[in-house]
Structure 1
Amino acid sequence: MATAAGCSSNQSALDPHGAPAIHVEHLIIGVTIICSIVWVLVMAMLGWALTRKRSSDSSQPHKRLLTLTVSAAVAATVIIIAGLTVASFYTTRGIGLPENGALTITVRGQQWWWQVLYADPDPALSFQTANEIHIPVGHDVRIQLESADVVHSFWVPSLAGKQDLVPGRNNSLLLRAERPGIYRGQCAEFCGLQHTHMAMMIVADEPADYERWAAAQRENGVTPADQDAAAGKVAFLSKPCAACHTVRGTPAIGTAGPDLTHIGSRQTIAAGLLETTRGSLAAWIADPQTLKPGSNMPMVPLSSIELRDISAYMESLK
Structure 2
Amino acid sequence: MAGATVATNRREARRPRRIPARAPCLAVLLGGCSGMQSMLDPAGIAATRIADLFWVMLIGAAVIWCLVISLAVYASRLKKTPVSERTALRLIIGAGVVFPTVVLTALLVYGLRLMPELRTSDGDLTIAVTGEQFWWRVEYRLPDGRVVPSANELRMPAGATVEVVLGTADVIHSFWIPALAGKTDMIPGRTTRQMLKPERPGIYRGACAEFCGSSHSLMAMTAVVMEPEAFAAWIEREAADAVPSGNARGREVFMASGCSACHTVRGTEAAGRIGPDLTHLGGRESLGAGILPNQPDAIARFVAETDRIKPGARMPAFPMLPEDDLAALAAWLGGLE
Cα deviation 1:8-41 (Å, max 9, x = unaligned): 7341111112211111111111111111111111
Aligned to 1:133: 154
Aligned to 1:264: 282
Distance 1:31 1:19 in 2: 19
For residue 221 of structure 1, give the secondary structure of its aligned residue in structure 2.
coil
Give the CA RMSD over aligned residues: 1.7
Larger Cα-atom Rg: 2
8 Å CA contact 2:36, 2:203 repeated in 1 = no
Distance 2:285 2:79 in 1: 67
Moved over 3 A (4+): 52-57, 120-123
Aligned to 1:69: 91
Identify if the C-alpha distance between structure 1 residues 257 and 67 changes in structure 2 by more than 3 Å, giving closer, same or farther: same
Q: Does 1:282 align with 2:300?
A: yes
8 Å CA contact 2:35, 2:41 repeated in 1 = no
Distance 2:143 2:92 in 1: 63
Q: Does 1:294 align with 2:312?
A: yes
| TM-score normalized by the length of structure 2 | 0.85
Distance 1:198 1:211 in 2: 28
Moved more, 90-99 or 301-310: 90-99
Q: What is the letter of the counterpart of residue 117 of structure 2?
A: G
Identify if the C-alpha distance between structure 1 residues 44 and 10 changes in structure 2 by more than 3 Å, giving closer, same or farther: farther
Cα deviation 1:208-266 (Å, max 9, x = unaligned): 111110111111122232xxx21010110111211111111111111111000000100
8 Å CA contact 2:165, 2:193 repeated in 1 = yes
Instruction: Return 5+ residue gaps in structure 2 as ranges.
Output: 1-33
Residue 131 (structure 1) shift: 1.2
Aligned to 2:43: 17
Identify if the C-alpha distance between structure 1 residues 86 and 53 changes in structure 2 by more than 3 Å, giving closer, same or farther: closer
Aligned to 1:37: 63
Distance 1:75 1:53 in 2: 24
Distance 2:144 2:52 in 1: 41
Moved more, 256-265 or 149-158: 149-158
Q: 2:76 aligns with which of 35, 46, 50?
A: 50
Aligned to 1:79: 102
Distance 2:175 2:286 in 1: 18
For residue 105 of structure 1, give the secondary structure of its aligned residue in structure 2.
strand
8 Å CA contact 2:39, 2:179 repeated in 1 = yes
Identify if the C-alpha distance between structure 1 residues 98 and 181 changes in structure 2 by more than 3 Å, giving closer, same or farther: farther
For residue 209 of structure 1, give the secondary structure of its aligned residue in structure 2.
helix
Identify if the C-alpha distance between structure 1 residues 120 and 180 changes in structure 2 by more than 3 Å, giving closer, same or farther: closer
- In the alignment of these two chains, the number of paired residues is 302
For residue 190 of structure 1, give the secondary structure of its aligned residue in structure 2.
coil
For residue 97 of structure 1, give the secondary structure of its aligned residue in structure 2.
coil
* Structure with more relative contact order (C-alpha pairs < 8 Å, separation 6 or more): 1
